[in-house]
Amino acid sequence: MKSFAIVIAACLMSSVHGYAASTLSLPKQLQGVGIDQHLNAAVPLDVSFTDQDGNSVQLKKYFGSKPVLFAPVYFTCPMLCDQILGGLVAGLRPLSVKPGRDFEIVAMSFNPADTTADAKRKRDQFSHSYSSRAGTDGWNFLTGSQSSINQVTKAIGFRYHWDAAHNMFVHASGIMIMTPEGRLARYFYGVEFEPKDLKLGLVEASHNRIGSAVDQILLFCYHYDPTTGKYGAVVINLLRILAAVVLIALTVMLVFFWRRDVRAARSSLEGSKHV
């Protein structure tokens, strides 16, 4: 029960970072745990890992042309990590953008004891949970050495530690979106991720290479707030769009009535000529 309480506390504090986190009185197990936003920082793409099929890969394999949705988890986690990955799947299901085609998913274990078999089991579980017909393309689950893990967790601002008393890692919950060049673009916290936030984050990180015209309008109306890790409505932009729509509607109406009056005047003139 105590370990469950620690997990819940870690989940609740996931969105607390920076100065706010340093001012809170946290339980001993949670001290030093958190996520610090390193927006626009570069991730070391030459770091080596092992993928779920046992292949030695560098992070750069997943970058270059698509944004990357990155999840720092560990595959033998007793509870919280499955909640994070399950929340990610639930947030992605309604979207028109698809893993493998429009973006890559990279789940990196920060437990050096996790194995290739652990990675494959989790990859299969969550890719099939997303879609039993879509296959595993775009779903990449990595394990690595402590050195490789440290380089990446430091770059993304992910702080965690091992709790020997409860035989588990204590960590915050969150995911990141990275640009095709390997820079950190967006952070989302918790275990539930709004489809709107995921979609807008991916569209922005792709430099508008994916998504529709509607998504471009939504990006104009919504702004990413780093303090909450969510997209919120920008009222002034919404008012601008509303004003533009009203102006266009008025213009169309004026043109319609003007053309109708012109036609009526011509008909009246032609009628008077025949008299």
pLDDT of residue 234: 60
Question: What architecture does CATH give domain 2-233?
Answer: 3-Layer(aba) Sandwich (3.40)
Tell me the C-alpha to C-alpha distance, in Å, between residue 212 and each of 76, 84, 96, 134, 215: 38, 27, 9, 22, 5
Tell me the C-alpha to C-alpha distance, in Å, between residue 260 and each of 171, 205, 266: 69, 49, 10
Closest C-alpha among 33, 98, 43 to residue 70: 43
CA geometry: angle at 173 spanning 215 and 71, to 5°?
A: 60
Mean pLDDT of the chain: 83
Of 229 and 135, which is predicted with more confidence? 135
pLDDT category at 183 given cuts 50, 70, 90 is very high
Provide the 3-class DSSP secondary structure of residue 175. strand
- Residues facing 243 on adjacent strands: none
Name the CA radius of gyration of the chain, rounded.
Answer: 25
Contacts of 71 (CB under 8 A, 6+ apart): 84, 85, 88, 105, 106, 107, 108, 175, 176
Closest C-alpha among 66, 69, 157 to residue 108: 69
Q: How many helices (H) and strands (E) does the chain have?
A: 8, 12
For 185, phi then psi, to 5°, come to -105, -40
Strand pairing category for 68-73 and 104-109: parallel
Lowest pLDDT segment from 83-87, 189-193, 211-215, 239-243: 239-243
Question: Is the pLDDT score of 77 beyond 90?
Answer: yes
pLDDT category at 219 given cuts 50, 70, 90 is low
Lowest pLDDT segment from 18-22, 78-82, 173-177: 18-22
pLDDT of residue 147: 98
Half-sphere exposure of 243 (CA within 13 A, CB side): 6
pLDDT, average across residues 186-205:
94
